[in-house]
Amino acid sequence: MGRSADLPRSSGEIDGDDTGCHVLHVDMDAFFASVEIRARPELRGLPVAVGGTEGRGVVAAASYEARVFGVRSAMPMGQALRLCPRLVVISPDRKAYTSTSTAIMKIFAEFTPVIEPLSLDEAFLDVSGAVGLFGRPADIARQIRRRVAEDQQLTCSVGVATIKSVAKLASGSCKPDGLRVVSAAGLADFLNPLPVTALWGVGKRTAEPLRRLGIRTVGELSVTPLDTLRRAVGNATAIHLYELANGRDERVVSPREEEKSISTDRTMNSDLLTEDDVARELLRGAGEVAERLRQAGRVARTVGIKIRFADFTTLTRVRTLAEPTDAAAVVYAESLQLYRGLKLDQPRVRLVGVKAENLRPAGEATQLALDLSGPGPARRPSGAAEHAIDALAARFGESVVGPASLLRSKTADTPTGGLNRHVPRRPAQ
């Protein structure tokens, strides 16, 4: 993937001839951080980061005020705090981001059914069938931006172009809170000055051989003989980059296929040394995965785990269930059995992950739940208690109810001291 941070930026509207520019790329501005600031207006204008609060925690998102200090996503939080000692750090609220994303995607759907989400905070839209109803593509982009601002009190940036790769670059170049149209005739003028690292598919590994060839801009890449590129980066990558550099991208906006798996993993602040510690993390992960299954109206036939050790060795295991489930107790019990099946001797576990796959609509089969106080499985109604817990969490916040065994780990994860370093999460309103 290219690096959007390498794009030269100019916020605001840069309009132009949008004839044939049926592709929009809508990208929310500092999404996670902006959702948190929306919930806490007193933080507006302050440097804010969302992410892990101590140890191996990393920055998941940073407000633009924090980016001025060099704070970036995927940066270790310790480094971010050194760059910006006054940084306000907030632990992530996945529910808030998911619900806000759902509301934003519904706004997009009011203008076109052809939506390709890339993540919670960005999507491609094909508006070729919407021009007759809502006006030219740039006008549709403005209406979307206005609706998002009015309904969600958030800003987004929109790129308008003839192809997906350029629409994405255009949205990145007008952040934050901007709109940019790149006309069919203006593709070369827009692309040629950009750093080659801005292109899709140019990461560190690909950028180095290009640099050795003296290729630093997209314009230089566009006139490099294809055979030269093949020798440097291989045939498939050479063709891909040459086409993008010359403004050619055959990919169409394609609505995403239904989610095939749901997973979560967590890197520990310090290595886990006992089975009890790992079991608590499996319980945490099982609860999150099961909750997301229920929110999606899905059940899973397969449960899996991912365990990464201190030396970064990673093991994965999966198991197919007799009946599909969305119950945390079942997911946890199967996960724990998979872990115990590894038969580890004094492990030092760095990361614990839980996964549910082989998904299908809920209600297709009676679920198995485990009576953890006894040796065998017991049938029960399909997760009524856990649905009640979901409702309580939605009303009063995630911390209102949960497994008692997680209480100690929640307390231990809460940092202390440090001005503006951590903001406690408020209950949902």
Co-location of 221 and 325 in the same domain: no
Residue 265 and residue 370 share a domain: yes
> pTM of the entire structure?
0.70
pLDDT of residue 315: 93
**362 falls in which pLDDT band (50, 70, 90)?**
confident
Higher pLDDT: 411 or 184? It is 184
405 shares a domain with 265: yes
**Per-residue tokens: 206:** 């690909």
- Pairwise CA distance, residues 6 & 52, whole Å: 25
pLDDT in tens, 33-63: 999 999 999 999 999 999 987 667 889 999 9
- In this structure, are 288 and 385 located in the same domain? yes
Q: Is residue 279 part of a domain?
A: yes
**CA 240 – CA 234 distance, rounded (Å):** 10
CATH code: domain of residue 211:
1.10.150.20
Question: Looking at residues 21-30, what average pLDDT do you find?
Answer: 97
For 86, the token pair is 């006054």
pLDDT at 10: 67
Q: Are both 232 and 265 inside the same structural domain?
A: no
Helix (H, G, I), strand (E, B) or coil at 352: strand
Q: Comparing C-alpha atoms, which of 82, 412, 61 is closest to residue 268? A: 412
User: Considering the domain boundaries, does residue 2 fall inside one?
Assistant: no
DSSP 8-state secondary structure symbol assigned to residue 288:
H
**334: in domain:** yes
Q: Are 167 and 23 in contact (CB under 8 A)?
A: yes
Q: What's the CA gap between 88 and 61, in Å, rounded?
A: 12
The total number of structural domains in the chain stands at 2
**Residue 227 covered by a domain:** yes
Distance in angstroms (rounded) separating the CA atoms of residues 25 and 118? 10
Q: How far is CA 157 from the centre of its chain?
A: 17
The Cβ-side half-sphere exposure at 403, using a 13 Å CA radius, reads 18
Which CATH number does the domain housing residue 365 bear?
Answer: 3.30.1490.100
Closest CA to 94 of 257, 266, 260, 259: 266
Known binding residue 311? Answer is no
Same domain for 395 and 320 = yes
- Tell whether 269 and 223 lie within a shared domain: no
Q: What pLDDT does residue 258 have?
A: 63
The answer to the question of residue 106 being in a domain is: no
**Residue 101 resides in a domain:** no
* 287 shares a domain with 233: no
Average pLDDT (377-392) is 47
Q: Are residues 220 and 295 in the same domain?
A: no
In this prediction, residues 89-96 reach a mean pLDDT of: 91
Q: What is the pLDDT of residue 414?
A: 33
Query: Is residue 239 located within the same domain as residue 293?
Result: no
The more confidently predicted of residues 380 and 128 is 128
Share the mean pLDDT of the chain.
84
Residues 374 and 328 in one domain: yes
pLDDT digits (tens, 9 = 90+) for 242-282: 999 999 999 999 987 666 789 998 888 889 999 999 999 99
Whether cis (ω within 30° of 0) applies to the bond prior to 176 is yes
- Give every CB contact of residue 258 below 8 A, 6+ residues apart in sequence: 359
Q: In this predicted structure, what is the pLDDT of residue 407?
A: 47
- In-domain check, residue 99: no
Task: Say whether both 228 and 367 belong to one domain.
Answer: no
pLDDT in tens, 204-245: 888 999 999 999 999 999 999 999 999 999 999 999 999 999
Q: Which of 202-206, 344-348, 367-371 has the lowest mean pLDDT?
A: 367-371
Binding site annotation covers 413?
no
Return d(Cα 411, Cα 315) in angstroms, integer.
29
Two structure tokens written together for 9 = 């930026």
- Among residues 36, 116, 122, 281, the one annotated as catalytic is 122
Decide if 291 is catalytic.
no
| In a domain? residue 343 | yes
Q: Please, which residues bridge with residue 181 across strands?
A: 160
- Which residues, 6 or more positions from 296, have their beta carbon under 8 angstroms from its beta carbon? 259, 262, 359
Digit-coded pLDDT (tens) for 9-19: 666 788 889 99
Element (H or E) spanning 145, and its range? helix 137-152
Mapped onto helix, strand or coil, the DSSP state of residue 337 is helix
Beta strand 122-126 pairing with 23-28: antiparallel
Domain that holds residue 300: 261-410
